[in-house]
Amino acid sequence: MKVKSIEFPSGKSTALNSSKKVVLPILTLIFLTTIPLYLYKDSPNSTLPRVEIINGSVPLFQKNNLPSPLHFAQNTSNDSKRVTLDYKCDIFKGSWVPYPRGPYYTNETKCVIDDRQNCMKFGRPDTEFMKWRWKPDECDLPLFDAIEFLELVRGKTLAFVGDSLGRNQMQSLTCLLASAAYPVDVSYVDDTKFRRWLYTNYNFTIAALWSPLLVGARDADPNGYSLNSLINLYLDEADEAWASQIENVDIVIIAAGQWFFRPFVYYENGKVVGCHICHKRNITDLTRYYGYRMAFRTAFRTLLRLQNFKGLTILRTYSPSHFENGEWNKGGNCVRTRPFTKEEVKLDEYELETYLTQVEELRAAEMEGRKRGLKFRMLDTTKAMLMRPDGHPNHYGHWPHESETMADCVHWCMPGPIDTWNELLLQMLKMEDQGAIEGKLQKYA
């Protein structure tokens, strides 16, 4: 899909005239929907690579508990650590610059890396994709400092609400923190999609609340669930899977994307209001953006209305995929080994609309939140990730002999560019913390 940069089959780069709209966000998107099923389906006959399941949970640590050689080789104490960023610097606007020292951790670090994102384990031959850092145009992004992060979140709970890309970010965070502390599994349920990890010394909890559609959803296809089966989406009802767990959470990182591109019948107030590619003559097609918009509106309103919720809400913006050389389910892959430059790519029409839709809803919530003293912020990773066609697992999320045919150009290798999401998150939390301190000082001045 959305191969914004390539024209087939010549491979000529047409990054800037991406008017050549590639069909299929829909399908890519559906592709994402299948990941969790693959990962957690427990069928012993399944030939799909699977994470090792222990009492229904992903093991907390990898078997090989060696510390990351890279991490310890790296002397970061002289780096731009604990530097406070200028408030005026837009940390989300920038480019990728070479960073030969490489990543913070490896596939052997004591942290969970799902096999499907464990590119080194499965023999990805190139390593250059791990040797870039995000460089904001107007400042430097400080290196991730695990102790600093843990001190900032001491006593708090951070929840990732959304789909498997949220879990991807959560695992990246635990790997980044592994140089300082390991968590214990304190999950309430066996379902791996609802992990809770506690950093005992910091009384800091990370929770995954899996809810790819954010709102209520029910299978509606007479033939059962499949990649593009019809789902009823209850746009004005927040999914209880997260909504019932969120009231005492201090930091909510919410995100949604690819799942919204499948066929839906949209409901509001219990009545059908429209659909997306449902092919029913008496139901209006309201487009995918309608459902996406309303789901975020409902999610944000739910947070605004929860009586005891006092947390910081962070929207992690849309994460672009990078299928080239074919559609996601027709041999499409992502074989690049270098980032794009700013000039080489831009968001295509679909991505831009998706991005703007969620940003508009976030802005509305931000205004409403101000009245209630609730903060809504944006972890605006879309443009940075658009430049990283080289950061996806492609076929390195499983052994070559395993009968996996589809490439994964949706999730992100670990280590890899997704680690930057947490470098950015740390800076955001620092700024919030500072803002809070300054606010207090002003009050007492």
Ligand X SMILES: *[C@@H]1O[C@H](CO)[C@@H](O)[C@H](O)[C@H]1NC(C)=O
Report the C-alpha gap between 108 and 415 in whole angstroms. Answer: 11
Site string for ligand X, 182-221 (x = CB under 6 A): ---------------------x------------------
Shortest Cβ distance from residue 108 to ligand X (Å)? 5
* Contact by Cβ (8 Å): 336, 389: yes
Q: Is 64 in the site for ligand X (CB under 6 A)?
A: yes
Task: For residue 141, give the 3-state DSSP assignment.
Answer: coil
Shortest Cβ distance from residue 204 to ligand X (Å)? 8
Site string for ligand X, 151-170 (x = CB under 6 A): ----x-x-------------
Nearer to ligand X, 179 or 329 (CB): 179
Which of 164, 83, 32 is CA-nearest to residue 172? 164
Q: Is 120 in the site for ligand X (CB under 6 A)?
A: yes
Task: For residue 86, give the 3-state DSSP assignment.
Answer: coil
Q: Is 121 in the site for ligand X (CB under 6 A)?
A: yes
Q: Is 283 in the site for ligand X (CB under 6 A)?
A: yes
Angle 220-26-211 from CA coordinates, rounded to 5°: 60
**Residue listed under structure tokens 């992004």:** 141
Nearer to ligand X, 8 or 182 (CB): 182
Count CB atoms within 10 A of the CB of residue 224.
Answer: 7
Nearer to ligand X, 89 or 198 (CB): 198
Alpha-helix runs per DSSP H in 90-226: 146-152, 164-177
Q: Is 442 in the site for ligand X (CB under 6 A)?
A: no
Report the C-alpha gap between 376 and 370 in whole angstroms. Answer: 9
* Contact by Cβ (8 Å): 60, 196: no
**Residue listed under structure tokens 């604990």:** 82
Catalytic residue (one of 348, 392, 411, 419): 411
Residue whose Cβ sits closest to ligand X: 121
Report the C-alpha gap between 429 and 423 in whole angstroms. Answer: 10
Q: Is 108 in the site for ligand X (CB under 6 A)?
A: yes
Shortest Cβ distance from residue 284 to ligand X (Å)? 9
* Contact by Cβ (8 Å): 141, 428: no
Angle between helices 164-177 and 25-40 (to 10 degrees): 60
Shortest Cβ distance from residue 30 to ligand X (Å)? 24
The residue type found at 125 is: P
Nearer to ligand X, 28 or 107 (CB): 107
Nearer to ligand X, 9 or 125 (CB): 125
Report the C-alpha gap between 294 and 273 in whole angstroms. Answer: 12
Q: Is 164 a catalytic residue?
A: yes
Nearer to ligand X, 271 or 443 (CB): 271
Stated as kind and residue range, the H or E segment containing 193 is none
* Window contacting ligand X (CB under 6 A); options: 54-62, 307-315, 358-366, 405-413: 54-62
3-state SS of the chain: helix, strand, coil percent to 5? 30, 20, 50
* Contact by Cβ (8 Å): 2, 154: no
Q: Is 222 in the site for ligand X (CB under 6 A)?
A: no
Catalytic residue (one of 145, 163, 408, 419): 408
Among 43, 45, 55, 405, binds ligand X (CB under 6 A): 55
Q: Is 408 a catalytic residue?
A: yes
Interface with ligand X (CB under 6 A), residue total 17
Shortest Cβ distance from residue 78 to ligand X (Å)? 4
Among 107, 172, 179, 317, binds ligand X (CB under 6 A): 107
Q: Is 272 in the site for ligand X (CB under 6 A)?
A: yes
Which of 147, 158, 174, 211 is CA-nearest to residue 58? 174
Q: Is 269 in the site for ligand X (CB under 6 A)?
A: no
Nearer to ligand X, 90 or 247 (CB): 247
Among 23, 37, 54, 436, binds ligand X (CB under 6 A): 54
Tokens of 225: 């669930």
Report the C-alpha gap between 213 and 295 in whole angstroms. Answer: 7
Catalytic residue (one of 164, 172, 179, 319): 164
Shortest Cβ distance from residue 173 to ligand X (Å)? 17
Tokens of 162: 């959304």
Nearer to ligand X, 107 or 321 (CB): 107
Q: Is 405 in the site for ligand X (CB under 6 A)?
A: no
* Contact by Cβ (8 Å): 201, 175: no
Active site residues: 164, 408, 411
Residues that bind ligand X (CB under 6 A): 54-55, 62, 64, 75, 77-78, 107-108, 120-121, 155, 157, 203, 272, 282-283
